[in-house]
Structure 1
Amino acid sequence: MTNANLQARKTKVIARGQGNVYPVYVERAENSELWDVEGKRYIDFGTGIAVCNTGHSHPKVVNAVKEQLDKFSHTCVMVNPYEVAVELAEKLVEAAPGESDKKAIFVSTGAEAVENCVKIARAYTGRRGVIAFNGGFHGRTNLTMALTGKITPYKNLFGPFPGDIFHAPFPVACHDITVKESLKAIENLFKVDIAPTDVAAIIVEPVQGEGGFYAAPAEFLQALRQICDEHGIVLIADEIQTGFGRTGKMFSFEHSGVEADLMTMAKGIAGGFPIAAVVGKSDIMDAPLPGGLGGTYGGSPVACAAALAVLDVIKEENLIERSKQIGALFNERLSALKSQYPDLILDVRNQGSMIAMELIVGGDSEHANTPLTQAIIGKAAQYGLVLLACGFYGNVIRFLPALTISDELANEGLDTFTDLFKSLVDA
């Protein structure tokens, strides 16, 4: 079996809209390494888009899943519930930032978690409007596409979208968008498009994922909390990509000292098993009537068992502290590359192990080097790397190493990345 053969078969039967970055078909994976069907090894700097924070096939996660499968695989938590779901809810409520009493619900995907946050906020407030931010990404369902602040590829051809969704600029210092300007834009929305008394929620990623790995300044999140408190608006933290130790805290909002009213959890929650959650203040979470929230596969017992194992691994292996160490290592190595190519690399930034390198042309911060970014991603597999791009203009290389990666393997991958980068720019 070859990668080319599988790609040809895939093209015939899977719609082109569900494309793949690499024509590389994985046969097995362990921790931070993948091997394809042809036996080639890759260092994985993508972890399934921040899903395998505890590495591929962590033994503790695998064993937990096997043990649960020996018992049962599904009964539907809304029909015949089970202890593993209750235990996971208890632990997620405990892990969520802030001192408020909290409750949780389980769904299957991050997009479902976002949609349920909006439903809960609307039920609680009796209001209709939701404010999101330019460059934000919240999912691929119709409502979450409307919330997403980027057209291509997520929204192109898919309209119309739900109404009562409004966008404001997200503060990005390296592109001269200040916190003051972002807050002013929200005030302008209140004067021009929707009264604050009609706004149910403001949703924000503490670090924009698809938008370019821009971290929201603490003062911005604190100001959003103040605006929401002043006007009775629900503050939603979209922690889907930032959660479970990825940013050097359990959740990124902890960096700002802000407690959100509702928060989404997915991706890194269960080491690759599909489950997502909403955790929020109890009085807000209880606003919907019984039967108003749920889903057939939400809170899968197998995924719940995996998630409990992930939480144990994060604690036992001190992965939150390890996330900081990995981020510092990547920042140091990539910053050294930036010093050699200041006209091509605008910025190297990280919050924990959520790491980015933004590429430009001629030292111009407003001239995105999308072609170079695409070339790096396109050639990465030849060098035995898995890399991902992001950014409003697709000019950001993002690094999402497993929090279990060794320094030795991280440095090997960074050496390879440096070789790849120089092969393209020094040619």
Structure 2
Amino acid sequence: MIKHLLKIIWNQRGRNGWIAAEILLVFVVLWYIIDSLMAVGKVFFSPMGWDIDHVYWISMGVEEVDRNEMDSTYQYVTSGRSMLTAIDRIKTCPGVEAVGVGLMSMPYVGENSYLHVGVSDSVNVEYVKFERVTPGFMEVFGFRPMEGERKSWEEMLSGDQVILSGHLFEKFKEKGGKRERGISFGDDDWHGIGGVTAPFRADRFQRKANWLFRSLTDEKIAEDDSDFRVKIAVRVDPSADHDFPEFFVKQMEKQLSIDRLYLLDVIPYSDLRYGIELRNGVKSELQNEIAVMGFLLFNIFLGIIGTFWFRTEQRKGEMGLRVALGSTRFSLKGIMIAEGVLLLTLIAIPALLICFNLQVSELTKGAYMDYTIARFAAGFLITYLVMAVMIILGIGYPAHQMARLEPADALRYE
């Protein structure tokens, strides 16, 4: 059967040559599109490693005070001292499971702090995101300790110890770092590693997170008089998460009016994430790329189906002759479809070499997914199957119509 189909393809090599060139070009372009969508999709839909469901940012406002106009009887109270009182009161709100506080550390708020850390004075590990947080912060966002860690978040952050994210700890070890020695923030500034989190991702468009957590003490919060650096987030019991912002404002607005401090807003973290993704443009950029890829995919679909439809229509005379010589309608459709799939299979061999070289040259989206044989094999197989379906659709219907013609009618085309 295959030998017979190869002979048919060879006898029509003049016409098949152009079709083969089209299939080769389309196959490579389609593979690139599928590989890119697969890489982006894998990152976007992978588990985050932390959770913002039922989490709210308690936005606090601070009344401005012109210190130049204060008289000798005025006692200036930092917002940090008032914030400590507010935190204690928020913990008493019905439905609140955990309260977390961060100093320039809340995710999706647009505040970030970075520093260099190393295993020695001369060897840096990474430029990492520095998170100054309370133990409750880890509970609010659902971070998990690495397997084998037995201490609580309070114990991990006690004293001058720090917590490393899973990916940062791996880099720390790769650079020769020893957990018992600790990690360096600079000259002679060493900190013990109190714990390590399970690996997590910084956001929905990144594969890893190199974060370092350090304790935010009550004393540090009280000292803060910058008004807006200390942020509060709460995790709410799912059973109580019904119109929680309205409920919280009603319950806590008066209680949180402390000195210059007042309750400004209660914002779901899903809204914060949407806003920051909109501002930084990463989501829009990917959406535009996916839209372009979808448009190309649709055009490829129409082009391949149209090519094989037209090719099948041109062979009515040949099909009529086959029917006249005794071919059944079922076998006629089978031969046409098998010929198209075999042509695709032959073209897939050079396409495989081209696609493999594109991946080896790292011209695809390596930032979202590692270059592996499994990734290449999956993308190539999906591309082959999608192309095969397009070719079958392009051949199937016109072949079905031709098979229904009477032999005498079909022979008129010969």
Task: Work out whether the TM-score is over 0.5.
Answer: no
Q: Which has the higher contact order (CA 8 A, sep 6+)?
A: 2
From the two aligned structures, give the one with the greater helix fraction.
2
With the length of structure 2 as denominator, give the TM-score of the two structures: 0.21
With the length of structure 1 as denominator, give the TM-score of the two structures: 0.20
Higher Cα Rg: structure 1 or 2? Answer: 2
